[in-house]
């Protein structure tokens, strides 16, 4: 199934803020007024430099934090304030997160099968033991693991296999939205390719939407329908993958794209990426707003700045 833009978005994030107070004089504005939405079956890639707030957004959406401000709507339900029982269950079943470090997120003393079945157990999503086993076996097969793997422990798997376990654990709940935080960064290229192909296949089969958080832009380009570019907790530019890659407008986006390393030593050796330094950029993020350029392409800036960027890229 491809992204379905005729329906209502499955996830709407409006003016999300997440502040952390570190000391009486130092507050980190990890996420500062961020809005975006994701449609059923769509893959939305979230990119941005380290510390820009990607993980915080993911964790805020799945409510591991209480957002400082803003509104998040999932499948029509407001999931921002205090959650009633039904909304909480909706959130914990229909939305799943795959964490960055597969090893740290898997209980070392539990068998793989039981790790994968944990969500089923908590939400009592089966009536018989056989049904539980069947469900787990089906997911194991889906992610390319064998039924015999059920009784193994996490350390007995390779990095790529462990990442599949993380994916299986998310999938078994039949989620409609999967938040994947850097889920392939720690894997080597050949396994990255396996996992990304697998995620694409699963999307075809189940129609799940993905929030794909990553810093590897070549992978993001490959998997995403739309992309959001984050910097210092702000959404600076968003649009279809095509729009962002063919006509990046914001200077930060442009520097990000120019930094993608290519496996070509002769061009790579001599090249330096475009510099972008907020302090000396002359931009003031407080003054700009996220403004529509064309189609689904939006960029953050003042009218004057945006006019200049459009001028220089046309």
Partner 1 sequence: MADKILDIRNLDITFTTTAGPVHAIRGVNMDLERGETVAIVGESGSGKSVVMKTAMGILAGNAVINSGEIIFRYKEDDGSTQEVDILKKEKKWIRKNINGRKISMIFQDPMTSLDPTMTIGKQLMEGMIMHLKISPKEAAARAVQLLSEVGITEPGRRMKQYPHQLSGGMRQRVVIAMAISCNPDLLICDEPTTALDVTIQAKILELIKKLQADHGISVIYITHDLGVVAKVADYVNVMYAGKIVEVGNIEEIFYEPRHPYTWGLLSAMPDLETDDSRLYTIPGSPPNLLHEVKGDAFAPRNQYALKIDSLKEPPMFKISETHYAATWLLDPRAPKVEMPEELSRRIQRMKKEVKEDGSRL
Ligand X SMILES: Nc1ncnc2c1ncn2[C@@H]1O[C@H](COP(=O)(O)OP(=O)(O)OP(=O)(O)O)[C@@H](O)[C@H]1O
Per-residue CA distances from 99 to 58, 135, 273 (Å): 10, 22, 29
> Looking at 11, 30, 91, 208, which residue binds ligand X (CB under 6 A)?
30
CB of 92 to Mg ion, least distance (A): 22
Residues 202-241 that bind ligand X (CB under 6 A): 215
54 in contact with ligand X (CB under 6 A): yes
Question: How far are the Cα atoms of 45, 205, 251 from residue 199, in angstroms, in the given order?
Answer: 13, 10, 31
CA angle, residues 53, 56, 57, in degrees to nearest 5: 85
**Bridging pattern class, strands 177-181 and 95-98:** parallel
Q: Closer to Mg ion at the Cβ: 46 or 139?
A: 46
Interaction between residue 167 and partner 1 (CB under 8 A): no
- Which option in partner 1, Mg ion, ligand X, none does residue 123 bind, with CB closer than 5 to 8 A by kind? none
Quote the least distance from Cβ 189 to partner 1, whole Å: 5
Least Cβ distance, residue 41 to ligand X (angstroms): 25
Q: For residue 104, how many other CB atoms are within 10 A of its CB?
A: 8
174 secondary structure, DSSP code: -
Half-sphere exposure of 26 (CA within 13 A, CB side): 2
Judged by CB under 5 A, which stretch of 54-62, 164-172, 223-231, 273-281 contacts Mg ion? 54-62
Q: Which is nearer to ligand X, 125 or 186 (CB)?
A: 186
Pick the closer one to ligand X by CB: 55 or 203: 55
Which residues lie across from 43 on neighbouring strands? Answer: 210
Does 221 bind partner 1 (CB under 8 A)? Our answer is yes
């Amino acid at each position: 199934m491809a992204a379905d833009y005729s329906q209502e978005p499955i996830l709407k994030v409006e003016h999300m803020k997440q502040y952390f107070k570190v000391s009486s004089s130092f507050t980190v504005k990890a996420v500062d007024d961020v809005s975006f939405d994701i449609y059923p079956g769509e893959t939305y890639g979230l990119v941005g430099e380290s510390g820009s707030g990607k993980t915080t957004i993911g964790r805020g959406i799945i409510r591991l934090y209480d957002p400082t401000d803003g509104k998040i709507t999932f499948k029509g339900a407001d999931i921002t304030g205090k959650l009633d029982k039904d909304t909480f269950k909706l959130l914990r079943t229909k939305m799943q997160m795959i964490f960055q470090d597969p090893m740290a997120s898997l209980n070392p003393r539990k068998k793989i099968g039981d790790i994968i079945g944990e969500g089923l157990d908590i939400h009592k999503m089966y009536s018989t033991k056989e049904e539980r086993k069947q469900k787990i076996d089906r997911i194991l097969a889906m992610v390319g693991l064998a039924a015999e793997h059920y009784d193994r422990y996490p350390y007995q798997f390779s990095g790529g296999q462990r990442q599949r376990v993380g994916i299986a654990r998310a999938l078994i709940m039949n989620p409609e939205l999967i938040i994947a935080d850097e889920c392939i960064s720690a894997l080597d290229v050949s396994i990255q390719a396996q996992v990304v192909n697998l995620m694409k296949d699963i999307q075809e089969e189940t129609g799940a939407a993905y929030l794909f958080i990553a810093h590897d832009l070549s992978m993001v380009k490959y998997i995403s329908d739309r992309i959001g570019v984050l910097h210092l907790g702000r959404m600076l530019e968003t649009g279809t993958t095509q729009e962002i890659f063919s006509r990046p407008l914001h200077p930060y986006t442009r520097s990000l794209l120019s930094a993608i390393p290519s496996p070509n030593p002769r061009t790579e050796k001599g090249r330096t990426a475009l510099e972008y330094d907020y302090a000396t950029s002359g931009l003031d993020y407080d003054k700009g707003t996220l403004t529509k350029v064309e189609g689904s392409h939006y960029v953050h800036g003042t009218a004057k700045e945006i006019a200049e960027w459009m001028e220089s890229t046309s």
